Copies of this chain bind each other. A is one copy, B any other.
């Protein structure tokens, strides 16, 4: 028996600088009814991701801003609890972009079915989902690491970074990860097989630490962080270095201008390539990426970590925690168990 009403998380105000819980409000709304060719999905896991910070501002970006007093949305895994579509059956597990609430209507285009027997359903928000694909295409299409090259990853213990470093290892590169705690650094080197890790919070001079960790210079710098970490990496590029630019989390909450050394002369000196991307640039190749990631996972060549927060009440805290580096691996929020 489904409830009649539910909680929905809305954007209450646009954050200035670092978001706080005051930017969100919980609103009681009805559980909707599906129309023809729609399904009702019970939310099981929500993904919270740094890129969502951008959508909370009003500025033009690669995705539309969230609207005030409308629900926030993001990647979600759920269970079909009512179907008026021939493509879905009650009990199917699905993944797609859904609002931050307990029950949602989805069209046939909005979600797709996932197989719970291949890997845990939550992995479709992480290593087998857009996170894994982000790492896969950014590293392999832009970074193109070659055997013996040095690959540096910032935000290395995060959802994307941890996959990037492992794929670089599969490709035979020497991998250095930059992260924000000793625990994360141990995770990189001991669990994920990175060659070296740097805790940027305890180093006096990130440039010197990075230089020491990369005696042969940097061939690929996978950028998740920006700021002074990015500046340092860009000072150590080898000839023909490649820089996939995936994120710049250090800048997302800045209220003043994000100023640093201009990159032009650095790029010229090393004939380096720097390319921004979003995973949707690779829409047409998702199947290729997902297949390869699934294969590596089944072969034990990739491991992953999930930081799982429990309950819709804690979604915003989980999101805010991303900017404090609280998560290791993929940050998820478990909203409900599957129906028995």
Contacts and interface: CB of A to CB of B under 8 A. Distances in A.
Interface of A: 60-62, 223, 226-227, 230-231, 239, 245-248, 251, 257-278, 281
A230 B262 CA distance: 9
B259 A259 contact: yes
Contacts of A251: 262, 264-265
A230 B264 contact: yes
B259 A267 contact: no
Question: What's the number of copies of this chain in the assembled complex?
Answer: 2
B261 A259 contact: yes
21 contacts: A60-B269, A62-B270, A62-B271, A226-B262, A231-B262, A245-B267, A248-B262, A248-B264, A251-B262, A251-B264, A259-B260, A260-B260, A260-B262, A263-B274, A264-B276, A269-B276, A271-B276, A272-B276, A273-B275, A274-B274, A274-B275
A191 B60 CA distance: 38
B62 A268 contact: yes
Given A269-B276, A276-B272, A278-B271, A261 B264 contact: no
Nearest to A63: B269
A233 to B, nearest CB: 11
Nearest to A224: B264
A180 to B, nearest CB: 18
B267 A274 contact: yes
Contacts of A230: 262, 264
B258 A262 contact: yes
A276 B266 CA distance: 8
A278 B267 contact: no
Contacts of A246: 268
A62, A263, A269, A275 — most chain B CB neighbours (10 Å): A263
A25 B223 CA distance: 46
B248 A268 contact: yes
Q: Which of A223, A262, A271 counts the most chain B CB atoms within 10 A?
A: A262
A248 B226 contact: no
A272 B271 contact: no
A257 to B, nearest CB: 6
